[in-house]
Amino acid sequence: MQLWKGRDDRNEHTKRRWHQHIQRWNLSESNATITGDISVALLGFSCDEGVKRNHGRIGAADGPEAIRRALCNLPVFHPDISIYDAGDIHCVDGELEAAQQQLAVAVAKILHHGVFPILLGGGHEITYGHYCGISYFLKDERLSIVNFDAHFDNREVTTIGPTSGTGFWQIAQDCKKHGSSFSYLALGIQKMSNTPYLFETAHRSHTQYVLAKHFDNYHRAQLDRQIKAFTQSTDRLYITIDLDVFASPYAPGVSAPAYNGIRPDAVFFDCLEKLFKTGKPVSLDIAELNPRIDIDGRTASLSATIIFHVIAYLSEIHR
């Protein structure tokens, strides 16, 4: 909670900022009292071991702190939503699998309290732990994943273990093991960022995707139809946003920047809003922020802007 500091325009209803609105939540306390009809919990995943194993530029472990700092001075437009900070899950001594398990337990606990989790990454190895936590909670409901990403992240796990690029392969294997369907939509995929084999893997697993070059106003109607069809065939949605999906002028602080990524414009936010308007999103994460290589805090600010919009969407659908 030491991070939550910022400008003070007097603690009045219409002048409050996030650092004055946020509340502490210690997940280890069994008698937590959650207030408000709508609640959100921020949970950090301070880990970039998966990025390191994937030969990426490390530094994403510092992402959760950078996002919190970017959120501090945002104005509170939706006081009806209680926002909690549930702290961070840390990857200790490179034990990624243990950190993912701890993350899964924490996510399930947040959902059990009827709170919407927003996870702050951390590398995209956040995906597997996050998905497992949602699965623990949902049990029999059909869960689908929407991933805004330049990469499929569907590489097979090798002898080095899981990485930031294996999450969706792991999820597909779990679905196969439990006899459930693997339902995955990737938005913003770059051909230059995925080998032909990864495209073949995507086709074999019936992964749906939209290329980054089609993520624009010209293809907007087609994009809308694909999102609508995908969301209609599921019970709940898990949304994950890998910041390397965005063009590097907007998101320079990522492990694998792309000069030709999508823009965080009306097309992107319209897609995100449409997902939330279905009422099916159960959780969301933002991954791959690397503050060490960010420029003027652009990528952290983009992360905070996305979260700001998500809070607005949640308030709107619960009216």
**pLDDT in the model for residue 31:** 72
Helix (H, G, I), strand (E, B) or coil at 85: strand
DSSP symbol at 258: B
pLDDT band at 11 (very low <50, low <70, confident <90, very high): low
- pLDDT higher than 90, residue 9: no
> What tokens appear for 173 in the block?
């294997």
Average pLDDT over residues 214-227: 95
- pLDDT higher than 90, residue 37: no
- The domains found in the chain, sorted by start residue, are 13-317 (3.40.800.10)
Q: How far is CA 4 from the centre of its chain?
A: 21
User: Token match 């919407």: residue?
Assistant: 116
**pLDDT in the model for residue 14:** 85
- pLDDT higher than 80, residue 35: no
Average pLDDT over residues 301-310: 98
How far, in Å, CA of 305 to CA of 301, rounded? 6
How far, in Å, CA of 241 to CA of 186, rounded? 10
- Could you give phi then psi for residue 283, rounded to 5 degrees? -170, 160
**pLDDT in the model for residue 12:** 74
